[in-house]
Structure 1
Amino acid sequence: MQSNLVMFPNAGVVEKSTKTEERTVTKYDRAEQQFIELLATEDLDNILDVEAAKVNEFERILSIAIRAAYQNDCGDRLAHQFLQRILYRINRLKLFWYDDLRHYNNERSLYLCSCRNQIEAAWQDWELAQIDVTALQQLDVKQVLIERSSNDLDPPLSEDSKYIREQMTEAGYRHLLAISSFDGLVEGSRLARILGGAANEVQCTLVRVLLEEYGNGRLSRKHSTFFAQMLTEFGMNTQPEGYFDLVPWEVLACANHNFLLTERKRYFLRYNGGLTYFEVAGPGAYRNYLAAAQRLGLSAAAMGYWELHIKEDERHGQWMLEDVALPLAEQYPDDAWELVLGYDQEKLMGDRAAKAVVQSIRKAE
């Protein structure tokens, strides 16, 4: 028989749990600050002995976080956040931010590389464990990509999608813009990293996608400019990474994952599979945001980025499927399953990030 006894939490247990989380936050915050100081250290690799105490303490916390995030069934949220922030601080050095040139002094640091590799090794194993890779290798890749793209082009509305469309407040919309600006203000940057090399139709299609994202070389038409205009409508910060501290680890993980895939040419198929999903599924999400903005009676400038993307990404999704993914599947038949792996990972991680964003919006409202 089901008990009707209501168990109230022990006040001492709640207090202890809260204090534990506070100590953990402080521990990770301190370690991240130590890492930021190391990043700014001139000629880092050659003065590690001088900074031994700081390095050793950072590495101790790094090891704790890796165990807590990836070797623990429940996964520690704070550990995930710390690791993805550290990884992003390393990865962002692969882009140019038009800031102080001294910020790039350690961009090829072997020590930073070792930190990145240590996090990525544990993290990527954890991510891959969530997908049946063996099953993917048995699929008819071209047929699966066509079917997945068709299903993801206009999926049924989820509860989170309905919330955004029907309930999200203007404060929630501003919070959405703040988090989305993390990618929206530097859109297309990672795609640019895979375009060099031999010329063929696939490369030219990818260049066309990038050119449209970059406004065909006109700043006024660049997609990031449209995003900045949305922020300006609310008097918000238009500087890249201006709301970095609001970004959930799930969103950071998507960015870091794409840094990895574009860094390694061996992952070229995985990246393009993921980009295919991103371009195919994008309009569905943007329609939700546009519907919310229209319901709230916002100005055209406050929603222009979504309108632009709905039109252009529908075309980009078709290009990515027909002119990139399917031709690559033909060119690399033995490895074509990696396109599906990239597609499925991008969907899995994107759905996880979208859920985290909605949770963050609800808390902010």
Structure 2
Amino acid sequence: MSALQHRDPTLLIDLPFTAVCADPLTDDDVQLALWTCYELHYRGFVDTDPTWEWQPELIAVRRELEGHLLDALHRDLNREHAVPASTEPVARRLRTLVDSDDGPSLSRYVQRDATAEQFREFVMHRSLYQLKEADPHTWAVPRLGGRSKAALIEIQIDEYGGGDPARMHSELYRTLLRSLGLDDTYGAYVNAVPGIALAISNVMSMFGLRRDLRGALVGHLAAYEMTSSEPCRRYARGLRRLEGDAAECEFYDEHVTADALHEQLAAHDLCGGLAADEPELAEDILFGAASSLYVDTRFAQHVLGSWQAGRTSLYEPATELVAAG
């Protein structure tokens, strides 16, 4: 951040986090650095030169960090969550992949057991993505054509409230934050969450900003749409158990319906259409879907492990690095 504030690219030389680390997915420095790089492509930062979005030295740092993250995802998925090669249609393979996911269920814990403070923690974690919900996947629109492009646009129209600003999913989440007494400023909790929470957003941004990863991006979106309806139902039930009212639950209630409708569209038209147009991207689509499931599993393991050990899943809140609204 110092390099951005001082507009001095020499400060990017020999940064310590550019060395290979054991687990880039959970490394706080790697994930915060990536999040900062990516946010320059979204809303930027207060008092930061917007032209630094394409500062060559910063792009070089970003690409190095992305290389470590991609290598780690491929390594972990090949070792623990391999997607078997198959000649079956992509949509059927996605269904098999999603159905075989056996990660811990954070939503079931929230539905039945989470305290009000734990629910607030969960909402803070997810704010780093939900306040820009749909934006990372929208990068794919100009990179697709035909059936897959039409399917993506249909999904994204719903994500953006069908043209009604108040119905945008990011705005519904902002309402949820305010109702829980939390800060609804974009990026407010970036320094309060660990690396794995930032990775949820960063993996999407990485897939979205790179045309070579467009297959992974649509696979990621498909997995997201295919696995969010029932968890959102549980989150809503958990919030109602904690005496949340209809307005507070609206974000989750909206996703129960919307994502159930999007599931088939994402698997068959979006991913199936892209695989038909560009068969060489089939394995990338499955990689993106597997990455989505895997990162969510690692996030759930962190949060549940923290809560079951009787400690917070957050760091001490610190908001000095806040993106411009």
The verdict on a shared fold, with TM-score over 0.5 as the criterion, is: yes
Distance 1:105 1:41, change over 3 A: farther
Kindly report which structure 2 residues correspond to 1:1-365, keeping only aligned pairs within 5 A, or say none.
36-42=1-7, 44-45=8-9, 48=10, 54-55=11-12, 59-63=14-18, 66-70=19-23, 80-96=27-43, 100=46, 102-132=48-78, 136=83, 138-142=85-89, 145-146=91-92, 148-149=94-95, 152=98, 158=104, 160-196=106-142, 199-361=145-307, 363-364=311-312
- Quick one: which amino acid aligns to residue 62 of structure 1? F
Q: Which moved more, 1:118-127 or 1:312-321?
A: 118-127
* Alignment TM-score, normalising by the size of structure 1: 0.76
Secondary structure of 1:190's aligned partner: helix
Distance 1:240 1:154, change over 3 A: farther
- Quick one: which amino acid aligns to residue 61 of structure 1? P
Deviation (angstroms), 1:118: 1.7
- Quick one: which amino acid aligns to residue 329 of structure 1? A
**Any conservation in 2 of the 1:153–1:284 contact (CA below 8 Å)?**
no
* Alignment TM-score, normalising by the size of structure 2: 0.85
Distance 1:247 1:196, change over 3 A: same
Once residues 150 and 60 of structure 1 are traced to their aligned partners in structure 2, the CA distance between those partners, rounded to angstroms, is: 42
- Quick one: which amino acid aligns to residue 122 of structure 1? H
Distance 1:147 1:139, change over 3 A: closer
Deviation (angstroms), 1:198: 6.4
Deviation (angstroms), 1:82: 0.9
Q: Which runs of no fewer than 5 residues in structure 2 stay unpaired?
A: 314-325
Q: Which moved more, 1:310-319 or 1:348-357?
A: 348-357
**Any conservation in 1 of the 2:216–2:286 contact (CA below 8 Å)?**
yes
**Any conservation in 1 of the 2:108–2:231 contact (CA below 8 Å)?**
no
Instruction: State percent identity of aligned pairs.
Output: 19
Deviation (angstroms), 1:232: 1.4
Once residues 309 and 159 of structure 1 are traced to their aligned partners in structure 2, the CA distance between those partners, rounded to angstroms, is: 18
Distance 1:175 1:257, change over 3 A: same
- Quick one: which amino acid aligns to residue 268 of structure 1? R
Secondary structure of 1:209's aligned partner: helix
**Any conservation in 2 of the 1:177–1:231 contact (CA below 8 Å)?**
yes
- Quick one: which amino acid aligns to residue 84 of structure 1? Q
**Any conservation in 2 of the 1:278–1:346 contact (CA below 8 Å)?**
yes
**Any conservation in 2 of the 1:188–1:213 contact (CA below 8 Å)?**
yes
Distance 1:199 1:118, change over 3 A: closer
Deviation (angstroms), 1:169: 0.7
Secondary structure of 1:139's aligned partner: coil
Distance 1:187 1:161, change over 3 A: closer
**Any conservation in 1 of the 2:178–2:184 contact (CA below 8 Å)?**
yes
Q: Which runs of no fewer than 5 residues in structure 1 stay unpaired?
A: 1-35, 49-53
Bigger radius of gyration among the two: 1
**Any conservation in 2 of the 1:141–1:336 contact (CA below 8 Å)?**
no
Once residues 361 and 240 of structure 1 are traced to their aligned partners in structure 2, the CA distance between those partners, rounded to angstroms, is: 26
Once residues 25 and 209 of structure 2 are traced to their aligned partners in structure 1, the CA distance between those partners, rounded to angstroms, is: 27
After superposition, the C-alpha distances for 1:5-39 in whole angstroms (9 at most, x for unaligned) are xxxxxxxxxxxxxxxxxxxxxxxxxxxxxxx1111
Q: Which moved more, 1:292-301 or 1:154-163?
A: 154-163
Q: Number of aligned pairs?
A: 309
What RMSD in Å do the two structures reach over aligned CA positions?
2.7
Q: Which moved more, 1:327-336 or 1:316-325?
A: 327-336
Higher relative contact order (CA 8 A, sep 6+): 2
Distance 1:180 1:351, change over 3 A: same
Once residues 160 and 48 of structure 2 are traced to their aligned partners in structure 1, the CA distance between those partners, rounded to angstroms, is: 27
Distance 1:41 1:110, change over 3 A: same
Once residues 145 and 215 of structure 2 are traced to their aligned partners in structure 1, the CA distance between those partners, rounded to angstroms, is: 16
**Residue number in structure 1 paired with 2:323:** none
Secondary structure of 2:184's aligned partner: coil
